[in-house]
Amino acid sequence: MSQRRVAITGLGLVSPYGGDLDDYFARLCAGESAVRHLLTDDLPRPLSIPFVSCPAFDPEAVLGKPLASMMDRFAQLGMAAAFAAWDNAGLPRTTDGEARTTWGCAWGTALGGTLAYEKGYRELWQKGRERLSPLAVILGMNNAANAHISIQLGLGGVSMSHTVACASSAIAIGEAFRRVRSGEATVMVTGGSDVPQAYGVARAWEALRVMAPGDAESSPRACRPFSADRRGLVLGEGGAALVLEDWAHAEARGASILGEIVGYGTSCDHSHLVRPEAAGQVRALRDTLADAGLTADDIDYINAHGTATSEGDPVEVAALKQVFGERAAQLPVSATKSMHGHLLGAAGAIEAITTVLALREQRIPPTAHLESLDPACTGVEHITHSRAQPLRAALSNSFAFGGSNAVLAFRAVPA
């Protein structure tokens, strides 16, 4: 079966910076952190952590009250991002019946509707109620986002939900890419959304001892990937979506092509649930290059997974050095989680969008707050201040608990 080129024709965000793509990328390049101090006092025990939120997002304003009421916040974020990407692609909100059968959705979420479930548990156990809302199941189910996206956009093809921890949306994008490249799909909406601010979720992550501490003053600098003084990751909420389209179909309708996705590789470390292993990441990186028909010399930028954990950062750098060899020392690498936080199931999608924008703008965003490099993370070129340079192709890394690794390859197209 011949392989088709896959165009990226739409990008959409619900981010702490808002939804404007140009503004989002400019603020990343300026090193502007969206991390804030989250203090809640309406919970069983006060929660005080650095967090990234989307306070300006009004789901009813974007989706309308009836639709918004049928969704948990993670699905609201996902639907809003998908709408934005769809409109950015210049596609109609409804399609004819024949086209719908080859148009689909692949979505990633690590947590699904945890806010809905937590609300239900509180009503049962704290308030003593005997009945829950009849919407409880459909609000909480992990495939709620892709189901709503498919219904609202009239997508009658495949509808897939991927839950693979922090690699969820990267894998969703990769699987959507494969569907379009093989000819099984013409158009795919793909990405991810997550909301990890449920009290139980935050406490669970706190118990892992991988979350950075912070207060109102220090929180904006709390996430410092690759830094000698890093103290852990910062969780965040958000949604990010891409429209992937058969290149010939996009050209035929006169679409603006924002970038090209050219490769995808995935692997499992098969060694430990939470401790990453370089060998597995190396396989994913090499498989992606082979899938894309690229060599290590073709890659001009890596958007790193870079969570700012003592276990993860050095392993990722070690994997890059194994794959890129002598060239690694001149390989530009940055971790934008330092600014937009770790969106869990949406992380791969927001970082894929960041990588596409970097190629389009021919500019690399930085790893913010990296002032003292961890000696265990040397050997690649860490970008600490944004810079313009020619960029031909780039990789976006997503490495998850469970040892699941996913890497996406993108190529620049003329603006």
**Phi, psi dihedral angles at 354 (to 5 degrees):** -60, -40
Give the Å distances, CA to CA, from 227 to 217, 308, 371, 382. Answer: 19, 7, 7, 10
The full DSSP string for 185-233 is: -SEEEEEEEE-TTSHHHHHHHHHTT-BPP--TTTGGG---TTBTT---B
| Secondary structure (3-state) at 261 | strand
β 238-246/187-194 pair status: antiparallel
> How many CA atoms, within 13 angstroms, populate the side-chain half-sphere of residue 234?
31
Q: Which residues are catalytic?
A: 166, 305, 342
| Secondary structure (3-state) at 16 | coil
Helices (H) and strands (E) counted in the chain, each on its own, are 15, 15
Residues 85, 12: Cα–Cα separation, whole Å: 4
Residues 91, 100: Cα–Cα separation, whole Å: 12
Q: What's the first-to-final CA gap in the chain, in angstroms?
A: 30
β 159-162/103-108 pair status: parallel
Please, which residues bridge with residue 46 across strands? none
Residues 246, 327: Cα–Cα separation, whole Å: 33
Structure tokens at 206: 């706190």
64: left (phi over 0), alpha (psi -120 to 50) or beta: left
Using the Cα atoms of residue 355, residue 361, residue 363 and residue 368 in order, give the sign of their dihedral: negative
Give the Å distances, CA to CA, from 135 to 341, 347, 406. Answer: 31, 28, 34
Amino acid at 240: A
Burial of 172 (0-12, 13-18, 19+ CB in 10 A): buried
